[in-house]
Amino acid sequence: MLVNVLDCRTRVYYGDKHYSKQRKSVRSLRKFIEFLDQQHSSISIFGLLLHSFMEITSVGIYVWVLQSNHSQDIKKFTWGTSMFNVEVVFNAIFFLEWVLLFFLEEDKKRYFFSWLSFVNIMTSVPMIVLGVGALFNSNYRWGWVPMYLRVWWINNCVCVLLDYPQIVRCMVDMYRETCRFFSRLFRSHLYLYRNLSNGSVLHGKIH
């Protein structure tokens, strides 16, 4: 009987200690994620600014290559080695961020079928496929991807950034709404520019 009591106490002690560590680890992870997600966190705003910079750079590279491209065939859309590598790295990061946000999102179904998720799939996945293919065949560096769609992510980043307390304290509402308006205007302008330029993607041409 004494042995059973000691064995029971041992299991309870070590069991509670083990599960207590697990609970602490889970709570610590949640606190870390909440800390990163806090709008007053300097890490959070720095991460958003860094992501916005990468989004703008990615779209900027696409526009630059689009202007300097001589071929009108989407299969011969030449990125250039350095530009291509940067785009692949950025889009790999965008995709990993999307996966992380998906697992942290409460309403996963709504997030997965959102327009921003569609944009990410239409841009990041093709660039990653081209990047992997380019490791084995240099012809994969020639391929058009609708990177102009990422202006929706740029607009989303700007709108979220304008709601941060640090920005709210520095800017009056009128200025923030003006920035929000110009962000949407930039998104619409680039999208229309992409669709009203010469050529047609549906006919195997780039605009």
State the total domains in the chain: 1
pLDDT tens digits, 53-79: 999 999 999 988 888 876 566 667 888
* Average pLDDT of the residues in 128-138: 93
Partners of 78 in beta bridges: 142
- CA 207 to CA 204: how far, in whole Å? 10
Task: Calculate helix-pair angle for 173-196, 151-162, nearest 10 degrees.
Answer: 180
pLDDT band at 156 (very low <50, low <70, confident <90, very high): confident
Predicted local distance difference test score (pLDDT) of residue 15: 44
Q: Is residue 28 in a domain?
A: no
Give yes or no for a contact between 147 and 120, defined as CB atoms under 8 angstroms apart.
no
Residue 163, SS3 per DSSP: coil
Angstrom distances, CA of residue 39 to CA of 45, 78, 109, 161: 7, 40, 24, 9
- Domain limits at 121? 43-203
Q: Is residue 1 in a domain?
A: no
Q: Is residue 12 in a domain?
A: no
Q: Is residue 8 in a domain?
A: no
Q: Is residue 33 in a domain?
A: no
pLDDT band at 190 (very low <50, low <70, confident <90, very high): low
Q: Is residue 179 in a domain?
A: yes
Give yes or no for a contact between 137 and 158, defined as CB atoms under 8 angstroms apart.
no
pLDDT tens digits, 104-124: 888 889 999 999 999 999 999
Q: Which range is most confident: 20-34, 35-49, 150-164? A: 150-164
- Nearest CA-CA partner of 46 in 92, 54, 106: 54
Q: Is residue 14 in a domain?
A: no
Give yes or no for a contact between 48 and 156, defined as CB atoms under 8 angstroms apart.
no
Tell me phi and psi for residue 17, to 5 degrees. Answer: -65, -40
